[in-house]
Structure 1
Amino acid sequence: MNRSLILTNRLLSGAIAATILAGSLVTGAAGAALAAPPPSSGRSTTVVPDPFVERIGGADRFAVSAAISAHTFEPMVPVVYIASGEVFPDALSASAAAGAEGGVVLLTKRDAIPTPVATELRRLKPQRIVVLGGSDTVAPEVETALRAFSTMVDRIAGADRFAVSARVSASVFGSHRPVAYIASGSVYPDALSGSAAAGRLGGPVLLVGKDAIPTLVADELRRLAPAKIVVLGGVNTISETVKAELQTMGTTSRIDGVDRFAVSAAISAGVFPPGVPTVYVASGAGYADALSGGAAAIANAGPVLLVTADTVPGAVAAELDRLKPRRIVVLGGPSSISDSTMEKLRTYLRR
């Protein structure tokens, strides 16, 4: 596919995303506007857009989830993963799995499919839908309703978040993976950036406790036999005892830092080269926007970096300086990442 066609597809997808957001506004919620990339000149020659920063926002986390998908993916995707937007654990492993299959992550309420998500599912026409988690997080009625959008709807559930994590991995990844990323199942920030890195390298994200590796996760690691195991976060989230046990399963290293922002930057620095085309930026204070953003980042071969609402932390600023992307995609509305922070992000674009 030539670059002109790629750009045209992105513009069309951006228009669809804007339609979804407009629909949300009609219902009475105020969503952030979606800034589309610079338009094509209409010539037959290849058009490379100037560097730009854009925002994918929406009335709520569900509208943002749908808009991210619409901005990134064409209809007839092979798979859509449906995860709770009200709790984070099941979706943490979903992005790497979706990325391995060229698929999407969309968020739902427990008892109903939000209207923007239903609209996006209708557009996507997925070949398969996979519901993540048990009936306590996504009700059977929602699973039934999803059959209106695909003839194949499955559920991956388990006794807890760790079992779901292991089963997601087992359903997608073969053995002898190049890497397996290990993240806390109790807190979300490290896995948000880890998913994009895992997707680039072709490995899963698996969840553990602070002081123990659940049996199903240990079994899955032995099956995967990864070339390396990467622990995400410091000893306050995953102990040295767990790291030592992981070392018995394969070569193990840790990526940590003084805070979630430093960890985010270090994950990116270990995987993504300078000049990467696109960087996704999400709030480090909430999980929802980055859950769907991870699959989009994998599709565009870019990292997910975390910021605060009003600042670009120093470690992230240094990583953006190194990456020098042509495009930065801000996930979420101004309450998550302010307009002033968007302006700061423009200074890191490759000119």
Structure 2
Amino acid sequence: MKTSKLTPAVAVLVGLGAALAGAGPAQAAPGFAFDQRISGPDRFATAVAASKLLSPVDGSATDVVVVNGYATVDGLTASYLAGLRSAPVLYTDTRAVPAVTTAEIDRLGVEHVWIVGGTDRVPAAQQQAWEAAGLEVTRLAGADRYETAALVAQVDDEHAPEQVFIASGTATADALAAGPVAWARNHPILLTAADSVPAPTAAALRELGTANRVVLGSPASVSESTYTALGGTQRIGGADRQATAAAIAQDAIATENFDPQSVALTGGTDATAADALAAAPVAGSQGVPLLFTGFDGGLGAGTTAYLTAQKANYTRSGNGWVFGGEPSVRQATADAATAAVQ
């Protein structure tokens, strides 16, 4: 049987986990704060800011994953693809490729553009322009989000994944919360309906042959009957998207060698999904779990509870990242997150 490859990002995480294991119990440090905001004036610029954090050296990335910045459901599984290629996720618009995106592709020295989504999301003219500029372009697009996810999940035909995430195709935050782990560990993300398994998802599961199938979200997002039909082996979920993200964070630290001393915060509404997707590559590369703010813009009960329970782990050497500007994550909310870990 084929085995999953060990990417450079994963090797870094393995070393990080070993170092932390020998460091002894961490003590709370007053110096930890959510004081590193990665943002720009819009979602396109925020994605570029995340890309620069991932790849600060010019000419250091051969690949980039591009999705529509206003239809991120097409890119829910893009974090897995980006991880395979050690690539960032950047955004385009149907009207034109934003100047900041074009400039970042040039700065990175990209040779291969991976498009996730159909021509109604990323127009053929944009693909043709990249090809005319000498770039290799691969488009992954199906008839719907489920088929697109299935195509992305099967893009690596040389290595069978050790684990597959399966999340709701409509309650999209659960897939986004797993993005950093999908990037770092090469775990593809498939999508399902709440009460049935879409045909493309079932076919992809058969083709991948992966027995370890982790279902994300509560039974309200993926029913128990669907969990059984999927052949689920584990469910990671909570009462809402904040609690589910917290549960995914706990699992990432416990089983994937993610850094217990660092954490990233992003907006918890559907309107801020673009920031969470753009955060996945840089968070995954550093083994930093991702949490969501509350629906009302506050910190939210689930996130507050997680940070309070984990606060002894956060030290001055850890990173408190905030992805997205205001009002995606209000400064008062970032301050509340800092207060929760003191």
Instruction: Give, in whole Å, the separation in 1 of the partners of 2:99 and 2:194.
Output: 37
Does the Cα contact within 8 Å between 1:96 and 1:295 map onto a contact in 2?
A: no
Does the Cα contact within 8 Å between 1:196 and 1:304 map onto a contact in 2?
A: yes
Question: Aligned AA for 1:317?
Answer: T
Taking only the aligned residue pairs, the percentage that are identical comes to: 31
Does the Cα contact within 8 Å between 2:146 and 2:200 map onto a contact in 1?
A: yes
Cα deviation 1:235-258 (Å, max 9, x = unaligned): 2222222111112xxx52222211
The alpha carbon displacement at 1:212 in A equals 2.1
Question: Aligned AA for 2:45?
Answer: A
Q: What secondary structure, in the 3-state scheme, does the structure 2 residue paired with 1:172 have? A: coil
Residue of 38, 63, 79 corresponding to 1:79:
63
The alpha carbon displacement at 1:175 in A equals 5.0
The alpha carbon displacement at 1:264 in A equals 0.6
Give the corresponding residue for 1:306.
292
State TM-score, norm by structure 1: 0.79
Give the corresponding residue for 1:3.
none
The alpha carbon displacement at 1:76 in A equals 3.0
Cα deviation 1:54-77 (Å, max 9, x = unaligned): 111221111111111112214331
Residue of 242, 248, 261 corresponding to 2:242:
261
Instruction: Give, in whole Å, the separation in 2 of the partners of 1:174 and 1:345.
Output: 42
Q: What is the CA RMSD across the aligned residues, in angstroms? A: 2.2
Counterpart check, 1:56 vs 2:42: no
CA distance change for structure 1 residues 200 and 317 in 2, over 3 Å: closer, same or farther? farther
Q: Which runs of 5+ in 2 are unaligned?
A: 1-30
State TM-score, norm by structure 2: 0.81
Give the corresponding residue for 2:49.
67
Give the corresponding residue for 1:330.
322
The alpha carbon displacement at 1:310 in A equals 4.0
Q: What secondary structure, in the 3-state scheme, does the structure 1 residue paired with 2:167 have? A: strand
Question: Aligned AA for 2:286?
Answer: N
Instruction: Give, in whole Å, the separation in 2 of the partners of 1:191 and 1:205.
Output: 7
- Within-5 A mapping of 1:94-113: 94-113=78-97
Residue of 230, 234, 238 corresponding to 2:214:
230
Instruction: Give, in whole Å, the separation in 2 of the partners of 1:269 and 1:348.
Output: 17
Give the corresponding residue for 1:10.
none
Give the corresponding residue for 1:26.
none
Q: What secondary structure, in the 3-state scheme, does the structure 2 residue paired with 1:221 have? A: helix
Does the Cα contact within 8 Å between 2:293 and 2:303 map onto a contact in 1?
A: yes
Counterpart check, 1:155 vs 2:112: no
Q: Which runs of 5+ in 1 are unaligned?
A: 1-49
Instruction: Give, in whole Å, the separation in 1 of the partners of 2:157 and 2:87.
Output: 14
Cα deviation 1:28-47 (Å, max 9, x = unaligned): xxxxxxxxxxxxxxxxxxxx
Does the Cα contact within 8 Å between 1:177 and 1:227 map onto a contact in 2?
A: no
Q: What secondary structure, in the 3-state scheme, does the structure 2 residue paired with 1:55 have? A: strand
